Amino acid sequence: MTIEMFLSSSDFRRHYWARNHLGWRHMDAAVPNAGHRALAALERRGKVSGVITQNVDMLHLKAGNRAVLELHGSYGRVRCLDCEHRVSRHRLAELLEPANAEFVSRIRGRGAIEVAPDADVVVEDTTDFAMLDCPDCGGILKPDIVYFGESVPKAVVQQGYSMVDDADAVLVLGSSLTVMSGLRFVRHARRTGKPIAIVNRGHTRGDDCATMKIDGSCSEVLTGWLESDRDEIVGVNHRPS
């Protein structure tokens, strides 16, 4: 759903929140993999100064990373578009559940439900779902996530640039860098002369900027680096970001 669709109609918003209410806990239940855990361990050892992620799944935080910049927001937060009031997704679920007990019972009574890759449940009839407005001002509540058609907030982008400036090198993990929100930091690192290592299966838009490119599994590379306890990842003694 684009931001234009979300804002254009209460029916679109009801459809989104109904699907999300039924499925968001699938994402909430996701656990970090070996790569996430290795990256967190590398931060604790002082070899990673920070993580800039395009993902909204909070897995880096779950793994133990602390210096995490969530470029596209987080599924775990909801904000009011009018007054900027924020509430956790868990708290919103607690409020939505009693208001939609019959809706949930009706959908689950049909048997197995399909969960889409974004963790929303695939369901068409959502007309009887009850939405909630901002408890402070009555405004529109929206997941604190950058939708298609939205821009990453300028303050977040600037924080990302500062993280790159403060690092000795940049390490790209598991991203094709298709969208500019991530690619801009790689290009900024190149302009400032910082080494860049990319670990990804297949081509990325940042390959021409890379000091080193590894076509492979992020989990395997990171756990191997952790086990070898080496500082050298891009040819010199650097602390990647």
Cα separation, 127 vs 56, in Å, equals 28
42: tokens are 């590398």
The pTM is what? Answer: 0.90
- The identity of residue 224, as a single letter, is G
What is the CB neighbour count within 10 angstroms for residue 197? 20
What is the CB neighbour count within 10 angstroms for residue 72? 19
pLDDT band for 231, please (50, 70, 90 cuts). Answer: low
**Which class would CATH give 34-71+152-228?**
alpha beta
Report pLDDT for 230.
Answer: 56
241 pLDDT above the threshold of 60: no
Report pLDDT for 35.
Answer: 96
The answer to whether the beta carbons of residues 122 and 116 sit under 8 Å apart is yes
Average pLDDT on 40-62 reads: 96
Average pLDDT on 131-159 reads: 96
Report pLDDT for 116.
Answer: 84
185-190 long-range CB contacts below 8 Å, 24 or more apart?
185/52, 185/160, 185/161, 188/161, 188/164, 189/164
**Average pLDDT value over all residues in the chain:** 92
9 pLDDT above the threshold of 80: yes
Average pLDDT on 81-94 reads: 97
95: tokens are 């409020």
Cα separation, 106 vs 60, in Å, equals 35
Report pLDDT for 90.
Answer: 97
pLDDT band for 117, please (50, 70, 90 cuts). Answer: confident
| Residue spans per domain, the chain | 3-29+75-145, 34-71+152-228
Cα separation, 170 vs 49, in Å, equals 10
Average pLDDT on 167-187 reads: 97
233 pLDDT above the threshold of 70: no
50 pLDDT above the threshold of 60: yes
Exposed, middle or buried: residue 185 (CB in 10 Å: 0-12, 13-18, 19+)?
buried
Cα separation, 30 vs 118, in Å, equals 12
123: tokens are 């369901």
12 pLDDT above the threshold of 50: yes
Q: What secondary structure does DSSP assign to 174-217, as a single string?
A: S----SHHHHHHHHHHHHTT--EEEE-SS--TTGGG-SEEE-S-
Q: Show which residues are catalytic.
A: 72
